[in-house]
Amino acid sequence: MDQRLTHHAYKLSFILLIFFLAFPPSSSQLHPLVANSTFLHLNYTAISDFRVLNRRTLLQCPDPNPYLQINVTNNADLSDEEFVTVNVSGVLLPSESDWVAMISPSNSDVTTCPGSEAYYLQTGDTSALPLLCHYPVKAKYMSSDPDYLSCKKQECQKYGNDGSCEVTTCSGSVTFHVVNIRTDIEFVFFTGGFTTPCILTRTDAPLKFSNPNSPLYGHISSMDSTGTSMRLTWVSGDKEPQQVKYGDGKSQASEVTTFSSDDMCSSIVPSPAKDFGWHDPGYIHTAVMTGLQPSSTFYYKYGSDSVGWSDQIEFRTPPAGGSDELKFLVFGDMGKAPLDSSAEHYIQPGSISVVKGMVEEVANGNVDSIFHIGDISYATGFLVEWEFFLHLISPVASQVTYMTAIGNHERDYVDSGSWYSGPDSGGECGVPYETYFPMPTPAKDKPWYSIEQGSVHFTVISTEHDWTEQSEQYQWMKTDMASVDRSKTPWLIFTGHRPMYSTLGADDKFLKIVEPLLLNNKVDLVLFGHVHNYERTCSVYNSECLAMPTKDENGIDTYDNSNYTAPVQAIVGMAGFSLDKFPDDAASWSLSRISKFGYVRAHATRDELKLEFVNSDTKEIEDSFRITKKQSSLRAR
């Protein structure tokens, strides 16, 4: 969230790097300075024990016993999604520090990697090294099996002459949710916890996916404001073009792309994305479906006869720009969370509840499109987690358009062209984001665009690229907003990732430079994320309320934009990442502050823009407001 310390933190990492290369710590325990890494890299890549696993010394396990075994209940090839039960047996003394890692690909080196010592310091961990050379996909403590520590499941390994048992061992099992990530999988049994791990044993034969080429995780974005051209993007292990079949017998071949670890950015010190967090993304297919009708339903499926086909999916096109009505959901900072309560690199605890809520909204026909305004997957250099995210959102992103804005956790990295220089993308530098979520942007690494749906013009910017007066993006947003025909789209919504107004702080320079454009172009509503809560302002400019809403007959705050004064700004970063609490005090421009998980449901007609913050756990509406505008006021302009 707060990037002000980023540059200093990065510099400090380099100083520490030089220091530790000169004076390597001899202890296998964490260096005392590790405690500071949580502070330095809060929100980057090194908070949990699991996430610093790679920087732990891999100890030699003390004399592994000969009875130890790890295997899976079902050795058959894996389907595209299943729960895999892993059994550990032959354990003489079950320990709370015993755990199982899922490793992929199976030939990954999970032994010590002393040559990599220098790589890891940038994540803030200055522990004694070396490390596991490849990051586990996920992990679980054996103690999650309630019968493990108490040794309820016993086996006799050796009988005495009198028939009594001389050696009794214990066993237990853990279950992992596994989605098709194409590369084969191995399970490794460790002890020593995440802090001082050592390998006890590993599975004999890797588990393979029965179809690594399966076409998966299809999701759709709008190409333009007509509502007639939709871009479908999906993932497969096969690089040959596939097809989308849609409507009444139409089809379109896919264009195929991918990215390699060479495309990840780095500095003197390799990034997680380039090194221990790399996972082969397979091939990313996109195909554009044209000749559709706006605000209408059609069916599609994608794949090929050789790799197989997706299910047939029902999709609803958004309304054309200039039509009367739009229903959309909007939020930021969602990410993903495991369905099996295992440990993963980066977990956003609210994401599952928010996605469940959105699935219901889409099923009820309440949604024409979805806007996810930055901090998308939080893979942050651990690339397999993009696939976890794509899997999570596919029930909604395959049925309505899923439009995105870029966030710091997709783009930022030192010396990479990002406006802020923190290492927040873990070395991705926007490459996986732009590949998985192609938006109607002007060019590569220029992730800003506008789109019209129904009565709304959305101006979507990148807060992570230069937005100062001389920048290309500034000129673009100025031209874009000035060109909006308000008789066609009465509502102008400006959106991006980092906020202008947050009780928890924002970038003053961004406010000073960009806010005048909002006022000059009579922007109605500004939506940002990045701060992990919900907050709404008055009609605000230069940190002062130029107008206050009044209560309508239902007690809902209503802003009268027939007499326009200034934009209403809202932060909607409460969709998954651990929530930020509010202090007791707040500025006068802050009218509503809620720290709960959820999403915003919006409904735009021609004379009203209504927003509701829906608590995804309770489905209660926690805040709602309306912006109204008489059509006569539009004609008068």
Chain residues binding Fe ion by CB under 5 A are 375, 407-408, 530
Minimum distance between the CB of residue 508 and Fe ion, rounded to whole angstroms?
17
3-state helix, strand, coil in the chain (%, to 5): 20, 30, 50
91 to each of 98, 103, 206, how far by Cα in Å?
10, 21, 22
Minimum distance between the CB of residue 235 and Fe ion, rounded to whole angstroms?
25
Minimum distance between the CB of residue 436 and Fe ion, rounded to whole angstroms?
18
Comparison of 108 and 380: residue with beta carbon closer to Fe ion: 380
Minimum distance between the CB of residue 39 and Fe ion, rounded to whole angstroms?
18
Comparison of 245 and 530: residue with beta carbon closer to Fe ion: 530
Pairing mode of beta strands 326-331, 313-316 = unpaired
Minimum distance between the CB of residue 302 and Fe ion, rounded to whole angstroms?
31
Contact 341, 265 (CB under 8 A): no
Minimum distance between the CB of residue 322 and Fe ion, rounded to whole angstroms?
33
Cβ-based burial of 210 (10 A; exposed 0-12, middle 13-18, buried ≥19):
exposed
Q: What are the helix and strand counts (H, E) for the chain?
A: 9, 33
Minimum distance between the CB of residue 468 and Fe ion, rounded to whole angstroms?
20
Report the side by side order of strands in the sheet with 165-179: 69-72, 81-91, 165-179, 154-159
Pairing mode of beta strands 255-257, 250-253 = unpaired
Comparison of 260 and 595: residue with beta carbon closer to Fe ion: 595
Residue 219, strand partner residues: 233
Buried b (16+ CB within 10 A) or exposed e, 438-477: bbbeeeebebbbbbbbbbbbbbbbbbbbebeeeeebbebb
Q: What are phi and psi of 583, to 5 degrees?
A: -75, 170
Comparison of 422 and 454: residue with beta carbon closer to Fe ion: 422
> Residue of minimal CB distance from Fe ion?
530
Comparison of 375 and 428: residue with beta carbon closer to Fe ion: 375
State whether residue 403 is helix, strand or coil: strand
Minimum distance between the CB of residue 531 and Fe ion, rounded to whole angstroms?
8
Comparison of 272 and 573: residue with beta carbon closer to Fe ion: 573
Comparison of 132 and 405: residue with beta carbon closer to Fe ion: 405
Minimum distance between the CB of residue 333 and Fe ion, rounded to whole angstroms?
6
| Cα–Cα dist 17/545, whole Å | 48
Contact 11, 422 (CB under 8 A): no
Minimum distance between the CB of residue 373 and Fe ion, rounded to whole angstroms?
10
DSSP 287-354: EEE-SPPTT-EEEEEEEETTTEEPPPEEEEPPPPBTSS-EEEEEE-------TT--B-SS--TTHHHH
Comparison of 333 and 515: residue with beta carbon closer to Fe ion: 333
Comparison of 54 and 408: residue with beta carbon closer to Fe ion: 408
Give kind and range of the element (H or E) at residue 567: none
304 to each of 177, 245, 257, 310, how far by Cα in Å?
27, 10, 17, 9
Alpha helices in 364-407 (DSSP H): 384-397
Comparison of 375 and 515: residue with beta carbon closer to Fe ion: 375
How far apart, in Å, do the first and last CA atoms of the chain sit?
Answer: 39
Comparison of 408 and 473: residue with beta carbon closer to Fe ion: 408
Minimum distance between the CB of residue 10 and Fe ion, rounded to whole angstroms?
17
State whether residue 286 is helix, strand or coil: strand
